[in-house]
Amino acid sequence: MRVIVAGATGLVGSEMLKVLEERWPAGTMDLIPVASERSAGREVFFSGKHVRVVTMEEALGLGAEAALFSAGSAFSWEWGPRLAEKGVRVIDNSSAWRMDPGVPLVVPEINPMDLKKDHFLIANPNCSTIQMLMALKPLHDAWGLEEVVVSTYQAVTGTGRKALQQLEDERMARSCASPAYPYPIDLNLIPQVDVFLDNGYTKEELKMRQESQKILHLPVLRVSATCVRVPITGGHSESIAATFRQDVSVEEARLLLGRMPGVSLLDEPEKRVYPMPLYCRGKNEVFVGRLRRDPDHSRRLHFWVVADNLRKGAATNAVQILEFIRAQGWI
């Protein structure tokens, strides 16, 4: 199978190459790495060999069957439909198509049924939404989700290489020529992820609301998010308060989460066992802990969720979609 990875030299694109190597049988995939004209001609290392990076124009004629996009919304708007019209299955990691009613927004452990054979353009959800819903889905199935209040603590890798460079420069007391953020990030928290909207929420916070409603098929689900950028290099964390239609049980929640594919339960606070971003890096699971029932509300559960935002939050989820499509015999 021939697969395009667009944005192959970026943070998420590079992680996609790693995940493909780890999960795909050796020798069964021909990689077509795509990047901007500035990066074309460089090489990436994949499956034991160096592969030349090409432009999207060059890739068009190379007979790809699938494409993983992580090159920004403008790129996706331009190239997604063009490849889809040629019969290429496009799995897009940008926000370009997520809320398009004709494009499925998929987390394979949650809503694979939304993928159909005639879908050639498929959206990968936002990293923060994915890890939150991986924890919420089994609880929703048991008790019926009504409302979510979430605060996120998001690593600088969610912004990209420019943000990593800013953090490194600040930690080394160097001048940063092109900062990603309007304020220092080292030794600081920035309560803004993406731009602000008229209602005081940011686009990132709105994404978590709208995408959750679409993925769970709950158009009236109440979701209120506060997204914060924190000075760590990998792994997003979330503090979640979820209210359900029925009374909740911590013991049952542990059982439900323990059976959820892709979720790892780390919930032994008496032994100081709980998820932390330092220990989730490079892992594909979503880690859940600090489970407790609200002392004043029998239908509300509080918990802590951590995941590698470049893995399950982006690259791994996209590759899992590709695996599902392949398993169906659609490519």
pLDDT at res. 67: 98
User: What is the fold, at CATH topology level, of the domain defined by 128-309?
Assistant: Dihydrodipicolinate Reductase; domain 2 (3.30.360)
- 127: annotated active-site residue: yes
Q: Is the pLDDT of residue 150 over 90?
A: yes
pLDDT for residue 270: 96
CATH number at 2-125+314-327: 3.40.50.720
Phi and psi at residue 74, to the nearest 5° = -60, -45
Q: What is the mean pLDDT of residues 255-269?
A: 98
Q: Which two tokens stand for residue 201?
A: 């929420």
What pLDDT is stored for residue 39 in this prediction? 87
**In the structure, what pLDDT confidence band is assigned to residue 287 with cuts at 50, 70 and 90?**
very high
Do residues 324 and 261 make contact, with C-beta atoms less than 8 angstroms apart? no
Euclidean distance between CA atoms 207 and 211, whole angstroms: 6
So where are the chain's domains?
A: 2-125+314-327, 128-309
User: Is pLDDT of 145 > 90?
Assistant: yes
44-75 as b/e: b if 16+ CB within 10 A: bebeeeebebbebeebbeeebbbbbbbbbeeb
Amino acid 27: pLDDT: 81
Distances (CA, A) of 144 to 215, 251, 299: 15, 17, 10
pLDDT, residue 310, reads 97
pLDDT tens sequence across 17-40: 999 999 988 788 999 999 998 888
Per-residue confidence (pLDDT) for residue 46, from 0 to 100: 94
Selecting among 119, 140, 236, 280, the annotated active-site residue is 236
- Coil, helix or strand for 283? coil
* CB distance 275 to 305 below 8 Å: yes
Burial of 312: CB neighbours in 10 Å, binned 0-12, 13-18, 19+: buried
Catalytic status, residue 176? no
DSSP type of residue 113: G
Confidence of residue 185 (pLDDT cuts 50, 70, 90): very high
60 phi and psi, to 5 degrees?
-55, -35
pLDDT in tens, 198-245: 999 999 999 999 999 999 999 999 999 999 999 999 999 999 999 999
Beta bridge partners of residue 239, listed in sequence order? 151, 304
Paired with 154 in beta bridges are 229
Residue tagged active-site, from 119, 127, 227, 280: 127
